[in-house]
A and B are shown apart, each in its own frame.
Chain A
Amino acid sequence: MSEEMKTLEFSQMVKATPEQVYNAITNRNILQGWFSNFVESQPQENGRFYAWWAEGYYTSGVYTQLKENEHVAYTWQGRGEPGVSKVDISLAKQNGGTQVEVKHSELGANGVWEEAVKGLQEGWEGAMENLQFLLEKGIDKRLYERPFLGILIAGLVTDEQVKEFGLPEKAGVALSGALEGTGAAELGLQNNDVVYELGGVKLKIFNDFAVAVQDKKAEDMIDIVYYRDGEKINAELRLSRRPFADVPNDPKELAKQLEEQYAQIDKELDAVLEGVSEEEATKRPEEKEWSAKENLAHLLLSEQSNYMFFSALVGGQRPGGFSNDFGMHAAIADSYASVADLVAALKSAERISVQTVASLPEEFVADKAKYHGLAHAALLGFGSHQRGHFAQMQAAIEAVRS
């Protein structure tokens, strides 16, 4: 019995080479930058294709056809869908870029399929836009549009704060300030303000923020209700955009920027260790708190994992996560005869990170999705990890001295 089958078709022109587009549709690192939140992809015949979205939907299938830089086909069994459908993606080189054609076929037309097909239509439309954005601008469009509040949160309101601020019920988030340049700062939100309601949603748990902004984008306005000194204020808040690094086209330029930032970090480290004896650096302030030297061992391991992470990105391999929590720091710290040796090793590791960036292959750099992905990872939040540990080191040294 033949059932009516449906096919969805999508077309998108992307200013990128067919090679770059092909990589974006088959490499799991890049797919995670435009398609879904998690991907497993083995681009070979009968290799698996699995994509998972944070919203809860996932699909699994296998590659049935692959022609490098030209065409892929894979099967698609989406969660909740009554059967297997088929996806075909064709690439055609054009003047100035690549024409991408997507055909999602063998979809059912009735019953459960109706809702599913609606979701797939929307999903693929958004995905095509994301693909173009990532390859042309080097940024994940979903992140680019994700609203950024710019508030510094102290915590959910306590029972005492409900009384103190005269809140009608236990809801709200106490602020410790607002980030410069954001809509929150423009509005004048400050320390001790309590944001009570956002977009009509009372903030009772942290997840309520996500609920409040779910249909909003960066630069949209949102209704906000906040309390200051016991007074209720209604206003409109401009949702900001996340900060994105300005990525230089030349990797040597990027490397130079990193080198300068590392030089600054090194200066700060030298200042922390100025006049500190071996004994002071090696002693733990409390039984379960790291010594200054152990903090350094951790920074060394982090920097080593940093350049291994860059190398994995260049190789298109899955990059390992950064574990903030490596063990055995005492043993590793001990394996360095002196603090000076450990500092030298750290500075050497930093040089390796810089040089890895300076020597990025041309082909990698020409692919905005790949190169900008690495650049953003390298630039954004640079130094905050180290500075956090410098503070820890200073505290440890002070405690040991007293």
Chain B
Amino acid sequence: MAAKTQTLRFERSIAAPINQVYQAFTNSVSLREWLSDSAEFQAKQDGVVCLYWYDGRFVVGRYTKLEKDKLVRMNWQSSFGPQSEQMVQVDFKKNGDQTALTLAHSGLEAGENGQEDIASIKKDWESSLDNLKSVLETGIDQRLFKRPMIGILIDRLINAEIASKEGLPVDHGLELSGVIDGMGAAELSMGDGTIITSLNDIKITNYQDISEAIGNKQAGDVVSATYYMNGQEHQGELKLSARPQAEVPATPQGLAESATQIYGKINDKLDELFQGASAQAAELKPAVDEWSAREVVAHLIAHEQHLAYWGAALERAKGRVSYSANSHQLVAAIANAYPNMAALREGLEQAQKQNVAFLAGLPVEFVARKGSYHRLAQNFLEENKHHAKGHFDQIVAALENAKESIAG
């Protein structure tokens, strides 16, 4: 005898064109922008439907019906909640300059956990659909926006080996190289050299422990923290702050100009760092698997090319691009493709020019895809700025090391 199944129904009115709302249920790239962390969808009859979340949950199934800008029907199984095969039906209707969306999730069986599972699914859909509205109307992904920060700059992970070698008071934890003004860690007077050993009662032995400790929290929450400063143990209540969002320029031209400014600052800093460094010093690797200063610049070129490739794939809402700019072989190959440092620096500037041109030329249809446009902007602006900064220290260290080797 078939168990009784339930259907959840939802409605939203979204101020976005109907084709964008339809795309949000049929395109892998779009799906990742509001619903899941990873998605693989083949928008055709019997096409694959896969959704994954970083916390390990996933949903798999297939499309049973699709009509462009009209409706979507899927069958799916989830790794969580009711184990019955479920159906999801989404209908789209134009309503003036709004799109009316109705979603029905049926085939839900109340299992061992009774109504709890179904209530949980209802809650997830409500917040996901709210996020869909936010992403399509404002470009802001609430999941990122709400992800809390404690405002720390991490130097390294402490382990028993390091602790005994350096005579540290603890054999695990995160050693900071600084804190971000105005956020929780700064407010507890943490700073360069502070070692955080536990957060939210979770012992910190690796980076995943941080996610576990604060991943489910929100900006404004408070977690207990144990930390060491100047050899003394401290306990405190650490406030979680909201993530700062960079201002996203409204037009491609504005975006290109902001990128140009950031590139200008990066190039000036590189000039400063390489001032007086010999060609020989630039080419010396501190260790067999560590980059020379020259290779770091080659990596920056690879990074810009990756951004170009990623950006183009995003603009086309196609495919997934993995990050290959860290490949040692690729970085060495790029470094070798230029006869000298001056040419390599020119190569970086050309890659930057290419990206500025790409940004300036973004079509109006892409700018209208607010979620994607925001993501693109964040990656080319804030993220790129932080990425470069992270490598400046690497260049300094490589050149210092080279100076010593050559002198010694």
Contact = CB atoms under 8 A, between A and B. Distances in A.
B260 to A, nearest CB: 12
Contacts of A12: none
Contacts of B353: 335
A319 B324 CA distance: 9
B360 interface: yes
Given A50-B60, A328-B362, A323 B308 contact: no
A352 B316 contact: no
A256 to B, nearest CB: 15
B334 to A, nearest CB: 6
Interface of chain A, main secondary structure:
mixed
Interface stretch (A54-62, A161-169, A200-208, A259-267): A54-62
Nearest to B347: A348
B305 interface: yes
B48 A58 contact: yes
B361 A330 contact: yes
Interface in B314-355: 315-316, 318-327, 329-330, 332-334, 336-338, 347, 350, 353-354
A221 to B, nearest CB: 32
B56 A48 contact: yes
Most buried by A among B77, B302, B310, B329: B329
A385 interface: no
Contacts of A310: 330
B58 A325 contact: no
Contacts of B330: 307-308, 310-311, 352, 356
A300 B223 CA distance: 50
B306 interface: yes
A62 B52 CA distance: 12
A158 B310 CA distance: 42
Contacts of B310: 320
B324 A311 contact: yes
Contact of B333 (A46, A325, A352, A361): A352
Nearest to A304: B305
A77 B56 contact: no
29 contacts: A47-B56, A48-B58, A50-B58, A58-B60, A60-B58, A62-B56, A304-B305, A304-B309, A307-B333, A311-B324, A320-B309, A320-B313, A320-B321, A326-B316, A327-B312, A328-B315, A332-B357, A332-B358, A335-B350, A335-B353, A335-B354, A341-B350, A348-B338, A348-B347, A355-B329, A356-B329, A356-B333, A359-B332, A361-B329
Interface of B: 38, 40, 46, 48, 50, 52, 56, 58, 60, 62, 77, 79, 302, 305-306, 308-310, 312-313, 315-316, 318-327, 329-330, 332-334, 336-338, 347, 350, 353-354, 356-358, 360-363
Given A38-B40, A301-B308, A323-B312, 6 more contacts: A308-B321, A317-B323, A320-B313, A320-B320, A335-B354, A359-B329
Interface of A: 38, 40, 46-48, 50, 52, 56, 58, 60, 62, 77, 301, 304-305, 307-308, 310-312, 314-315, 317-321, 323, 325-328, 330-332, 334-336, 341, 345, 348, 351-352, 355-356, 359-361
